[in-house]
Amino acid sequence: MDGSARSVDGHSENQLSVRLRGFGPIGLLAIVLIFLGNFVFIPLSALLVLWWRHLSQTSWRAIGFVRPRSWIRTIIAGILFGALLKFTMKAVVMPLLGADPINQAYRHLTGNKAAIPITLYALTIGAGFGEETLFRGYLFERLGKLFGSSVIAKLAIVLITSIVFGLAHYTRQGLTGVEQATIVGLVFGGIFAFTGRIFMLIIAHAAFDLTAYVMIYWGLETRIAHLIFK
Scanning 22-70, the segments in alpha helix (DSSP H) are 25-36, 44-55
> What pLDDT shows up at residue 13?
58
Residue 126 · residue 54 · CB < 8 Å:
no
> What pLDDT shows up at residue 230?
74
Question: From CA 211, how far away is CA 214, in angstroms rounded?
Answer: 5
Question: From CA 139, how far away is CA 95, in angstroms rounded?
Answer: 30
> What pLDDT shows up at residue 229?
85
Total residues belonging to the chain: 230
Beta-carbon count within 10 A of 66 CB: 15
Beta-carbon count within 10 A of 151 CB: 8
Beta-carbon count within 10 A of 94 CB: 20
DSSP 101: S
The structural domains of the chain, with segments of one domain joined by +, span 1-58, 68-225
Question: From CA 113, how far away is CA 5, in angstroms rounded?
Answer: 57
pLDDT along the chain (230 residues), means of 10: 40 80 96 96 96 97 97 98 98 96 94 96 96 98 96 97 97 95 98 98 98 97 92
> What pLDDT shows up at residue 1?
35
Question: From CA 131, how far away is CA 143, in angstroms rounded?
Answer: 16
> What pLDDT shows up at residue 8?
39
Residue 119 · residue 212 · CB < 8 Å:
no
Question: From CA 39, how far away is CA 66, in angstroms rounded?
Answer: 28
